[in-house]
Every structure is written in C-alpha cells, then in structure tokens.
Amino acid sequence: MAMNLLHRVCCSSRPWAAYTSRALVPWTLGDVTLGVRTVEIGPGYGANMASLLERTGHLTAIEIDRSSAARLTDRFGDRARIIAADGTDAGLPDGSYSSVVCFTMLHHVPTVALQDRLFAEAARMLEPGGVFAGSDGRHSRAFRAMHIGDTYNPVFPEDLADRLRTAGFDDVEVATGPVHQRWRAVTRGR
C-alpha cells in the first residue's frame, strides 16, 4: 500500500520506534496476553517487532512490500519469521496462532472490502479463543493531510465492532484515544 515520503521517513525513524515501544504498543495491548504464536500483519519498517518479541514465544510478520520484508528479514530474521505476502491472504494454516496484531496500517488498506478480508483472515488464522488486537489512527484533517499522495482509507471506530463481529469475532472491545483507536477481539469457538 502506497506511503508518501513523509510516512517513509517517519515510520522508519528511531523516534517512531521509541514511541511505539513506549506508548502505542502498551496502550494497544494493555493486559492482552499474546500467547505462544503471534502474527503481525503489516509491520512496515518493524517499529513494533522488538516489543512484540518480548511478549510472545514466536513471531511471524506478514509484510506486503517485498523490499520491506527483506529489510525485516535482515534485521529480525534470526528471531522472527518474515513472510512477503498480502495480509488479506497470508497462506498460513487455519487456527494455528494464539494472537494476530496490527498497528497503524489499516488506513493504508485501500478499500473497506479488503480491510474486512484482512479481519476475516486474522480470524481464520487464530485458534479458538485467540485474540486479534490492534490500533490505527483516527480520522482527522491533520491525519488526512499527512496522507497526501498516500493510500488513505480510515477505519471509523463506530463501525469497527460490527465489522469485527461479521469477520468471526466475539467479545469485541473498541476504544478511542486522542489520535488513535484500538480494538481487542476474541475468535469464536469452533
């Protein structure tokens, strides 16, 4: 999904990685237990991966951009499995993961239908009772302005819970902060 120069510089920076590690990942996950096997969809430059590696036994990252996936392999390949694939069709086995996460990437998925496919793919990969947790920016003029020349398809918090239930989740929680929203949802028993 397209990212403009501002995004590429910001998302690959040390200050962004420090912010995500210090604030965004803890706020998003809170007391969520990731379990033994976690998938991160859309890690981009890998800002969240170090934090996630501390919270799970095994991390698999699915990155659509092949050059980003190669950079992630160079940086984290000895500690995580990196797959160059589309998060809406990852090709990973059904019911094999305890958690799936994604951070500040959904607004780069170009259509609502593809976002919903990503939600359904997360549900498919999760074991019964597995958790899908994530965060994304909240729509605002400033957030939109940051996306000039970018793919920008915001996820609206008032619609998110129903969309997650439709994808196969129960116990859905959506919360908003000043600039981000987060969700936590549990897969239905099979």
User: CA torsion 170→30→109→119, rounded to 10°?
Assistant: -20
Q: Has residue 63 got a pLDDT over 70?
A: yes
pLDDT of residue 67: 92
pLDDT of residue 32: 95
The pLDDT tens digits for 5-46 are 776 777 777 887 888 899 999 999 999 999 999 999 999 989
Q: Has residue 190 got a pLDDT over 60?
A: no
Q: Has residue 86 got a pLDDT over 80?
A: yes
Query: Any idea which residue has 């859905």 for tokens?
Result: 172
Q: 3-class secondary structure for 51-70?
A: HHHCCCCEEEEEECCHHHHH
Q: How many whole angstroms separate alpha carbon 156 and alpha carbon 138?
A: 7
The pLDDT tens digits for 102-151 are 999 999 999 999 999 999 999 999 999 999 999 998 887 887 777 788 88
User: CA torsion 175→12→90→41, rounded to 10°?
Assistant: -20
pLDDT of residue 15: 82
pLDDT of residue 129: 95
- Helix (H) / strand (E) containing 5: helix 5-11
Q: pLDDT confidence of 85, banded at 50, 70, 90?
A: very high
pLDDT of residue 2: 63
